[in-house]
Structure 1
Amino acid sequence: MTTLRYLQGYPDHLQDQVRALLHAGRLGDHLAARYPERHAVQSDKALYAYTMELKQAYLRNAPGIDKVLYDAKLDVVKKALGLHTAISRVHGGRLKAKKEIRVASVFRQAPAAFLETIVVHELAHLKELDHNKAFYQLCEHMLPDYHQREFDLRVYLTWRDLAPPADAAGQEKE
């Protein structure tokens, strides 16, 4: 039985459905049919603008963001798809905090819905630091289908890791 590391917290019947699609070589096609739209957010500058647009729409009163970028060093294996950080520096006689959002570079080629899900998740951390009920309510406020997208994003990552080369050849895997 294939271990689905991104889906371990989900019920067995869902994992079995994903395994069946994976072993039949249809998981990539299923994801492509469900999320056909690609995004044009390829540069760090475009990612910053995209993130600020979402922030302006849903979190106007949240702290500002100083930097948003794709980060090739974020390791999906360590479950870091995106990071929010606050870097404090002494500037003159004052302490200045810079807020950054980093998105794993695998999302340059991912479907648009998955990039939006990661950005919404990291924006929610501006208001709620922990993954608690209020955090997920905020994510649902910004994306009403957040939980479904998060599950499908985990399925996408599973497909990227486990799809046989023949299945991955027809799809953009990177």
Structure 2
Amino acid sequence: MKYLAGYPASLQEQVSQLIAQDKLSALLGQRYPGGTHDIQSDRALYDYVGGLKNEFMRKAEPLAKVMFDNKLHVIHNALGTHTTVSRVQGGKLKAKREIRVASLFKEVPLDLLRMIVVHELAHMKEREHDKAFYALCTYMEPDYHRHELDLRLYLTHLDSGGRQLWAPSSRGDLSPPESNGH
């Protein structure tokens, strides 16, 4: 259970039991019954992230690029990254901020996308995962810690061979996952 390594053994045991009983997907489906969101393009993600940044971090440096990244989870072992790219322009050093979000987040509920976006935005102000960092995360998203745990549960579900829960249906609308645990 690599995604739950930092959590108490009692929680890990509960999750193991849910997986063994094939009930983890039903639990996640109950917590997020609305299906996935409609932020599917890099432009839509840029607008969404920009809206959150403007709401909570007006004075932070502007973002040069925001995009979904297909290789992020595999190559960097991360679900999102924040980078500062420095370039020399004329006689000055210019820095541009970028946020990349794993493409996995195209097919999750909006609350989980918001959690990872809030996490990456918080890194614009706080570099380390410390008390100030998590205070900023919970300021931008009061349920940050619950959504982070739920995301870790979902990743554990996928890692244990579970199917994707919130994929758009073939009709083009968004369907919630089945609630029978299958």
Q: TM-score, normalised by structure 2?
A: 0.86
Secondary structure at the residue paired with 2:72? Answer: coil
Secondary structure at the residue paired with 2:99? Answer: strand
Which of these residues, 91, 94, 118, is aligned with residue 89 of structure 2?
A: 91
Structure 2, unmatched stretches of 5+, are 169-182
Q: Look up the match of 1:115.
A: 113
Q: Is the 8 A contact 1:22 1:163 kept in 2?
A: no
Q: Is the 8 A contact 2:109 2:166 kept in 1?
A: no
Q: Look up the match of 1:149.
A: 147
Q: Is the 8 A contact 1:113 1:149 kept in 2?
A: yes
Q: Is the 8 A contact 2:84 2:97 kept in 1?
A: yes
Secondary structure at the residue paired with 1:48? Answer: helix
Secondary structure at the residue paired with 1:103? Answer: strand
Secondary structure at the residue paired with 1:39? Answer: coil
Q: Within 2, Cα distance between the matches of 1:104 and 1:76?
A: 9
Q: Specify the code of the residue in structure 2 equivalent to 1:116.
A: R
Q: Identity percentage over the alignment?
A: 51
Q: Is the 8 A contact 2:32 2:109 kept in 1?
A: yes
Q: Look up the match of 1:13.
A: 10
Q: Within 1, Cα distance between the matches of 2:139 and 2:74?
A: 26
Q: 1:78 to 1:87 in 2, by over 3 A?
A: closer
Q: Within 2, Cα distance between the matches of 1:98 and 1:60?
A: 16
Deviations 1:45-66 (A, max 9, x none): 0000000111111111111111
Structure 1, unmatched stretches of 5+, are none
Q: Is the 8 A contact 1:81 1:104 kept in 2?
A: yes
Q: Within 2, Cα distance between the matches of 1:44 and 1:136?
A: 26
Q: Is the 8 A contact 1:128 1:135 kept in 2?
A: yes
Q: 1:33 to 1:24 in 2, by over 3 A?
A: same
Task: Count the aligned residue pairs.
Answer: 167
